[in-house]
């Protein structure tokens, strides 16, 4: 399928679908999670498609740049072979290979055993695996959390040994048919009243999302990141809209449809950004739209109170993204902490754990972390964005040359896969050392994709982080790497 909507339709008819796109956006999520596999021609290991696929455990091949998609004929070609919609292909997410036709698949014995299958649990491979993991867990100093955005992902993460959620993204809580009207109303609001109406519509829905997550992670910390992406990610594509307006206009179809499309285009154009990665997003949204983060904090706290009243133990950490200055975090806390206190008072509830912190994902934040730590309970390294800004590499755009860069050794390794020690790593070390020096109680973690990469986990151990957080499907890899890091340190010390 070449669109998320079609993937959803086919999947709901019981078909097994591989979604093929140039790239994916948060708008495609509903089609992605219903697909057996995802194939993109642009992007790479850290594109939206790759991150979602990893989080959901969906096989994916991303940035297959030999693939040319022709939406007109609903087909794609690669190296002279043409594949049409409905043809069967097989993809291998480990090797990046794409095969025409159906290849036999083999079931994983470990997955079977983990899901409780008794006969699989008696297999040698499972017993060896289980013993190895127990050993790693006994030795490791790093805790391992997972990046999980939904109750299902949280459950999966916990089954794999996650000791909390290090990153609960809230973007998806602004998507879906039910919510899109309220989100647009929020974005286009010209009065405080319109904005408040939008928040009032979103609040109860988001509260339910959080209740599900806190129940699954009972007794374990959950770091919720307040809304991060630029708002136009929640709106239609500008080129598509301009094309539609031009067609309606040229065809002489004057009327409400054209007027509505024109108005939407004008607003989308007003919000359009030259470099959205470096634009109005993260804490900047929280500052420009003060009701937004307040609504999210209220939803989180109301959910935590509900779970607490069920005798649960929700352990809440609220994370403010993309902070560059101490003052941003201080002012946001000043606005948001009273909202949290008010909910707790109204509900008559006390929580065992409620912390406020930030991501360290901008070089400016890394080198001024001593100041920022004065107003933070925790730091979480957002190494995806820190790598993007340190190198000046947009992960959406470097697919065109990163392959050549790796081949010619122009970069030490793919810095989105393994932490670049001399550059990004040095910034992390500065932030970690100076953050701790300024605030001895500071907790430190990492929630970028690197949290599941073994070499990067070793580095996180070396600079003394408290935990790594990674995709649920990589939790076991991270536990193992954390154990190896401790063992390796011990061995080199005893030499």
166 close to 185: Cβ distance less than 8 angstroms: no
Looking at the Cβ atoms of 265 and 299, the one nearer to a copy of itself is 265
375-394 positions binding a copy of itself, by CB under 8 A: 385, 388-394
**How many helices (H) does the chain have, and how many strands (E)?**
21, 16
Determine if 57 is a binding residue for a copy of itself (CB under 8 A).
Answer: no
Residue with token string 């374990």: 220
Q: How far apart, in whole angstroms, are the C-alpha atoms of residue 124 and residue 122?
A: 6
- Please state the closest distance from residue 389 (CB atom) to a copy of itself, in A: 5
Taking the alpha carbons at both ends of the chain, their separation in whole angstroms is 57
Give the distance from CA 69 to its chain's centroid: 26
- Please state the closest distance from residue 423 (CB atom) to a copy of itself, in A: 4
The residue among 295, 307, 297, 301 whose CA lies nearest residue 346 is 301
Query: 36-51 as b/e, with b when 16 or more CB fall inside 10 Å?
Result: bbbbbbbbbbbbbbbb
424 close to 390: Cβ distance less than 8 angstroms: yes
Looking at the Cβ atoms of 59 and 291, the one nearer to a copy of itself is 291
Determine if 79 is a binding residue for a copy of itself (CB under 8 A).
Answer: no
Looking at the Cβ atoms of 162 and 265, the one nearer to a copy of itself is 265
395 close to 48: Cβ distance less than 8 angstroms: no
- Please state the closest distance from residue 76 (CB atom) to a copy of itself, in A: 15
Pairing status of strand 143-147 against strand 165-168:
parallel
Single residue of 325, 414, 477, 484 touching a copy of itself by CB under 8 A: 325
Q: How far apart, in whole angstroms, are the C-alpha atoms of residue 490 and residue 175?
A: 48
Stretch that binds a copy of itself, among 101-109, 177-185, 309-317, 365-373 (CB under 8 A): 365-373
Determine if 324 is a binding residue for a copy of itself (CB under 8 A).
Answer: yes
Q: How far apart, in whole angstroms, are the C-alpha atoms of residue 123 and residue 141?
A: 30
Catalytic residue check, 443: no
402-421 positions binding a copy of itself, by CB under 8 A: 404-405, 408-412, 420
Looking at the Cβ atoms of 43 and 93, the one nearer to a copy of itself is 43
Stretch that binds a copy of itself, among 89-97, 339-347, 361-369, 467-475 (CB under 8 A): 361-369
Single residue of 57, 161, 423, 454 touching a copy of itself by CB under 8 A: 423
- Please state the closest distance from residue 393 (CB atom) to a copy of itself, in A: 6
| 3-class SS of residue 430 | helix
80 close to 100: Cβ distance less than 8 angstroms: no
Residues 62, 168, 305, 447: which is the catalytic one?
A: 447
Q: How far apart, in whole angstroms, are the C-alpha atoms of residue 407 and residue 306?
A: 54
277-316 positions binding a copy of itself, by CB under 8 A: 277-280, 284, 287-288
Q: How far apart, in whole angstroms, are the C-alpha atoms of residue 50 and residue 37?
A: 11
- Please state the closest distance from residue 399 (CB atom) to a copy of itself, in A: 10
Determine if 26 is a binding residue for a copy of itself (CB under 8 A).
Answer: no
Single residue of 112, 172, 238, 267 touching a copy of itself by CB under 8 A: 238
Q: How far apart, in whole angstroms, are the C-alpha atoms of residue 128 and residue 125?
A: 5
Determine if 328 is a binding residue for a copy of itself (CB under 8 A).
Answer: yes
Looking at the Cβ atoms of 99 and 401, the one nearer to a copy of itself is 401
Query: 359-396 as b/e, with b when 16 or more CB fall inside 10 Å?
Result: bbbbbebbebbbbbbebbbbbbbbbbbbbbbbbebebb
**Helix 151-159, helix 192-216: angle, nearest 10:** 30
- Please state the closest distance from residue 403 (CB atom) to a copy of itself, in A: 11
Determine if 247 is a binding residue for a copy of itself (CB under 8 A).
Answer: yes
Catalytic residue check, 168: no
Determine if 72 is a binding residue for a copy of itself (CB under 8 A).
Answer: no
Q: Which residues are catalytic?
A: 48, 447
In the complex, which residues of this chain contact a copy of itself (CB under 8 A)?
A: 238-239, 242-247, 249-251, 269, 273-280, 284, 287-288, 322, 324-325, 327-328, 331, 361-364, 367-368, 371, 385, 388-394, 396-398, 400-401, 404-405, 408-412, 420, 422-424, 426-427
């Amino acid at each position: 399928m070449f669109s998320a909507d079609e993937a959803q339709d086919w999947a709901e008819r019981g078909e097994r679908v591989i979604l093929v796109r140039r790239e994916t956006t948060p708008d495609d999520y509903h089609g992605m999670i219903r697909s057996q596999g995802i194939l993109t021609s642009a992007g790479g290991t850290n594109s939206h498609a790759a991150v979602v696929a990893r989080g959901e455990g969906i096989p994916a091949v991303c940035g297959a740049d030999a693939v040319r998609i022709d939406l007109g004929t609903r087909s794609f070609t690669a190296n002279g072979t043409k594949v049409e919609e409905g043809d069967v292909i097989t993809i291998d997410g480990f090797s990046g290979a794409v095969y025409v036709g159906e290849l036999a698949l083999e079931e994983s014995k470990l997955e079977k055993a983990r899901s409780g299958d008794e006969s699989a649990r008696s297999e040698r491979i499972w017993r060896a695996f289980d013993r190895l993991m127990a050993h790693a867990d006994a030795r490791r100093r790093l805790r391992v959390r997972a990046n999980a955005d939904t109750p299902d992902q949280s459950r999966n993460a916990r089954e794999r040994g996650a000791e909390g959620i290090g990153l609960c993204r809230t973007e998806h809580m602004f998507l879906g048919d039910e919510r899109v009207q309220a989100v647009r109303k929020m974005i286009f609001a010209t009065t405080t009243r319109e904005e408040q109406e939008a928040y009032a519509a979103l609040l109860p829905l988001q509260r339910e999302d959080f209740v599900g997550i806190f129940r699954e992670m009972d007794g374990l910390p959950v770091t919720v990141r307040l809304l991060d992406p630029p708002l136009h990610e929640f709106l239609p594509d500008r080129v598509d809209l301009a094309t539609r307006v031009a067609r309606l206009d040229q065809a002489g179809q004057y009327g409400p449809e054209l007027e509505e499309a024109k108005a939407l285009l004008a607003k989308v154009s007003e919000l359009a950004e030259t470099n959205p990665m470096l634009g109005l997003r993260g804490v900047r949204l929280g500052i420009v739209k003060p009701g937004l983060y307040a609504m999210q904090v209220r939803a989180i706290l109301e959910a935590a109170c509900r779970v607490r009243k069920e005798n649960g133990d929700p352990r809440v950490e609220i994370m403010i993204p993309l902070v560059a200055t101490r003052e941003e975090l201080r002012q946001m806390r000043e606005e948001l902490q009273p909202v949290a206190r008010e909910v707790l008072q109204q509900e008559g509830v006390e929580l065992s754990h409620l912390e406020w912190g930030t991501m360290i994902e901008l070089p400016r934040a890394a080198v001024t972390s001593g100041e920022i730590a004065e107003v933070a309970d925790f730091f979480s390294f957002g190494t995806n964005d820190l790598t993007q800004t340190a190198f000046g590499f947009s992960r959406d755009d470097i697919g065109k040359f990163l392959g050549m860069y790796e081949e010619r050794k122009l970069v030490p390794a793919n810095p989105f896969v393994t932490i670049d020690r001399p550059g990004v790593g040095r910034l992390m070390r500065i932030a970690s050392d100076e953050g701790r020096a300024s605030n001895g109680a500071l907790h430190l973690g990492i929630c970028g994709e690197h949290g599941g990469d073994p070499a990067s986990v070793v580095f996180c151990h070396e600079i003394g982080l408290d935990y790594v957080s990674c995709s649920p499907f990589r939790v076991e890899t991270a536990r193992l790497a954390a154990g190896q890091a401790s063992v390796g340190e011990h061995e080199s010390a005893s030499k």
